[in-house]
Each structure stands twice: as C-alpha cells, then as structure tokens.
Amino acid sequence: MADEEHDQNMINDDDGEVVLNNSDPDYEQPSYLSRLLLQPEEARLWDLILLLFSSDVESRDFIDCSGGRRPQGADFHPRWLIFISVTAQKLFRRSRQPMERIGRGLELWLNLLSNNGGLLKLLLKLLNGKVVWPERSSAEFTSLIGNLDRRVEMDKNVRPGHRRYKAVLSLMAAKLSYENEAFVKSVVQDRWKMEFIGFYNFWNEYQGEASTQAIMLKDTTSAPNLTIIAFRGTSPFDAAAWCTDVDLSWYQIQGVGKLHAGFMKALGLQKTGWPIELVSPPQDNGNHPPSAYYSLRAMLKEEMKKDAGSKFVLTGHSLGGALAILFVGVLALHGEAELLERLEGVYTFGQPRVGDEEFGGYMEGKLKEYEIKYLRFVYGNDVVPRLPYDDRTLFYKHFGPTLFYNSCYKVKVMAEEPNKNYFSPLWVVPKVLNAVWELMRSFMFPYIRGRELRETWLMRVFRVLGLMMPGLANHCPQDYDNCTRLGSWPSSLHPPDAHNPEEKLIHHQD
C-alpha cells in the first residue's frame, strides 16, 4: 500500500488521476501522474498464488495502482508477468548475501591470479610464502567486469575532434564506472591525463540503500572542455541492481508517457514523486548519501558555472545507459533549459528500454529542441536492449537511432535492432551459429588485428556460455569497446522515422 508520506504529497483530481503536489509556486506541474508499483516486501506466498488465479489485481496489498485506472490485470499474461517480477525481486533480496560473497570471492581469486602472474606462479609463491594479496580498495584491484576486458587505455588513433572521440571516451568511462574509486582515479589522472571530479554512491529511496553509482571526470583536451558523467550498470553479483532491472513497476505522466519505475527509483525518484527541489524530512538527519539526480544536477550546475564554455556528456552501459537517458528526461520535466543547452550528447551501450512510445516521442522532441545527440549502441544478440518486452502487455519501446553492430563490427543505423524481443524461435539457430563464430573469432583476432585484441580467459569462458545463451556474452563491454575501436562508422546519424515501418535501415557505412 502507498505510505502516508506519499499520499500527503499527492492529491487526486476529479477524474481520479494523481497530481504532483509541489509546494514551489514557480514550478510548472508535469500534469497528472498515475502508477503501478510492485512492492515485493509486502507480498506473501499466498498473495502470489492468488494473483495467478484471480483477476482482482487492485485488492493485492503488494500492488499500488493509484490514479483511478485499473491495470491490465483481467488477462492471465499481465498477471503472470507481475508474478515473475515480484518473485524475482524477492529471490534477489533473499540471495543478496550469498551473491555478494560469491562475487567477492570470485573477484579475489581473479585478482590473486593477475597479481601473481597466473596460476602456476601463484602456486609457486604459495609454496615459498611470497603471495601478493590484493587489496579490494586499491588502484590495482579489478572488478569482474574489468577482468573480462582489461583495456583501460584510450584508442591512440582517436584524438579530440575525431568523429568517434566522444563515443570512444563515453564507452571507456562507462567501463571504468564498474571499478573502485582508487582504480578510477588512477586511470583518469595517470593514464588519460584528465581531471577526476568524483566517485559517487547515491541513495535509492525505495531500496533504502546507496545502490546507484556514478563517476564524473573532465576532459580538458577537448574544445570546449567536456565533463563526463558515467552511470554504473548492473554488476553480475549486485542483487540490488538486479532488483532494479526486474522491477516492472511504472509511472505515467500525462504529456510525457509511461516510464520504468525501477530505473526511476535508481535515478532518485522520491516517494513524493519528482519535486523540483528536495526538502529533507525532519527524521532524515543527513544519515544517508544524496540521490543521484538531484546531486548530479547540482554538481553539473556548479561545473558549468565555473567553466562558461564547457559542455557535458552522459553515458552508461546496461542499467547505466538507462539512467543516462532518463536523467535527460527528468531535466526536461523540470525545465532545466540551461543544462540541456550545455548537454553535448548521450551515449549508451546495451541500454534496456525505459518507457513507452509516448515517452519516446516526448524525448525525441526535447532532444531535437536542444540539439542533443543521442546514440544508442547495440551489439549483435545482446539480450538487454531487447528488454523489457515491446508487446501488447509490456508497452516499452526504444526511440532515436540504433547503431547496430554485427559480429564483424559493421554498423547499420536502424529504427530498431533485429529480433526486437530476443526469444523468437526463428532466431535460435542464427544466434547459436553467431556465438560459434564469436568464440572462433576470439582466438583469431590477435593474429589478424593485433595482440591488443587478445581476449582474457574469462571472456572466453563467457563465449562458451554464449553457445547456450548468446545474449549473455554479447552484453559484455568487450564487444562494445571493439565496436568503437574497430567498427565502421555511419555516414549519417539522422534518426530514423519510427512511424514509418518501411524505414528500418537508414544508413550503412562499410
């Protein structure tokens, strides 16, 4: 059920829709808000069983559907999806500590191997007592994602001013966001020769923990200076991030559209909605970190004020990409014209869908109005950009141009990636054959394209797993890095016409 604080900050209009009750007289209300919020902490096993056999969705305590509109619950399929979402969230919540222990143990083992020169040398050092033990907070400690692809150097062939430069820099920053603060600072300052601004853990009001991470840096070699914000994606053993991903809750704002509530919560959605400014409740004594959106917005304003001609870029891989583009959406919702005018572009890699078709139209209008470049990179059979589903039950749709790269790193600018919902039976054989080629390619590329393209043994393990689940290996940053380094570049980035079904392939550059 919605808590009392939520109800006190929202009022119902005559039609039963919910209106944001913002106390700021200068704030233009974003019209009406309705919602479908899933609250797994309130769901018992019996509640979930009843959900499958009863269409009375509104009577379930763990489903908050304010706004005077009944959710699509009469059919079994929507109820089944709610069941899956809530059950998955409950499982991830209960598995949090085991997942964390497994992840930490695996990362420790991987760093033991790398710090001691491999398995054979590690065994020898164990015998003579000279093992180099990794320190988790050190600049040498690498995450699981970092062990999949150890490249941290910028592409030396792509300099500031090159048409690929911002995409390359964005991808590298998105990869770097998975690492610890000392590692990030070392790479940014010592290898990239850029200014390290900060590493942040942001508060998720709904999860009650600091589960959203981002890094901020400044490239002073660009003209103008460029500030980069990179949101961290979903780490494999981060239960809180997985809860965000599988949460099928949504908010609907009139004139804006429906948005994925799980991603919005991670960005900083309050239980009072999206007030233009935060007013801390009396019981909050500053005992937790700030929320992502409000904190980053304030820091960006300060950075833009200090450097009048500078611009900024938003980026992220996976969940991080979703947060990057939604950050723009909330800036537009709040009428932050000055910041939007300084936004150079949004570059996302393996980004999931974040809203419905109406939201896509709203965002395309804002991107055009403020001349913001939005490039969404999709590699091969990556499953994440094809989720949540785009069907009659789940309304999610991508917007803007899709830079789709195949397994030869050839690009097509498309309205939508092929096999948009991933699980089509017609694509099973092509996906497996492609996974076989990618495994072969991992051994061939060092001899064909250079030793710097040699994949780690861990990445090759993921390639083998990809024979059973091709979308798994394709989501790793390794291939997205190769796309920006080796891939072709489109001759034009003009967004396709999403309303023209004939216009699927827009531009192709060999």
d(CA 415, CA 378): 12
Tell which wins on pLDDT, 327 or 491. Answer: 327
**Are 415 and 397 within 8 A, CB to CB?**
no
Q: How are beta strands 343-349 and 311-317 bridged, if at all?
A: parallel
Q: Which one from 6, 260, 398, 475 is the annotated catalytic residue?
A: 475
Radius of gyration of the chain from Cα atoms?
Answer: 23
Q: Which one from 170, 177, 222, 318 is the annotated catalytic residue?
A: 318
Q: Tell me, what's the pLDDT at 60?
A: 80
Tell me which of 47-61, 175-189, 390-404 is least confident.
47-61
Region 233-241: what's the mean pLDDT? 92
Q: Tell me, what's the pLDDT at 36?
A: 83
For the stretch 243-294, pLDDT in tens is: 999 898 888 998 999 999 999 999 999 888 889 988 765 445 467 899 999 9
Reference 244, options 388, 381, 105; nearest CA is 388
Reference 263, options 231, 229, 216, 301; nearest CA is 231
Boundaries of every domain in the chain? 4-94, 136-237+287-509
Q: Tell me, what's the pLDDT at 281?
A: 52
Q: Quick count: other Cβ atoms within 10 Å of Cβ 58? A: 11
pLDDT over 50 (residue 17): no
How far lies 287's CA from each of 88, 213, 280, in Å? 30, 18, 11
Q: How far is CA 445 from the centre of its chain?
A: 29
Region 475-500: what's the mean pLDDT? 80
Q: Tell me, what's the pLDDT at 133?
A: 93
Q: Tell me, what's the pLDDT at 282?
A: 44
Tell which wins on pLDDT, 70 or 102. Answer: 102
Greatest C-alpha distance within the chain: 78
CATH number of 136-237+287-509: 3.40.50
Tell which wins on pLDDT, 218 or 469. Answer: 218
Region 184-190: what's the mean pLDDT? 98
Q: Tell me, what's the pLDDT at 311?
A: 96
Per the prediction, the chain carries an average pLDDT of: 86
Q: Quickly state the pLDDT bin for 14 (edges 50, 70, 90).
A: very low
| Catalytic residue list contains 162 | no
**Are 206 and 244 within 8 A, CB to CB?**
no
Q: Which one from 64, 149, 238, 382 is the annotated catalytic residue?
A: 382
Q: Quick count: other Cβ atoms within 10 Å of Cβ 427? A: 16
d(CA 321, CA 326): 9
Region 431-441: what's the mean pLDDT? 95
Q: Quick count: other Cβ atoms within 10 Å of Cβ 358? A: 18
pLDDT over 60 (residue 32): no
| Catalytic residue list contains 6 | no
**Are 229 and 170 within 8 A, CB to CB?**
no
d(CA 363, CA 489): 24
pLDDT over 80 (residue 229): yes
| Catalytic residue list contains 481 | no
Tell me which of 61-70, 147-156, 173-182 is least confident.
61-70
For the stretch 39-52, pLDDT in tens is: 888 888 888 888 88
Q: Of all residues in the chain, what percent carry a pLDDT higher than 70?
A: 87
Tell which wins on pLDDT, 66 or 134. Answer: 134
Tell me which of 22-36, 238-252, 429-443 is least confident.
22-36
N- to C-terminal Cα distance for the chain? 55
pLDDT over 70 (residue 74): no
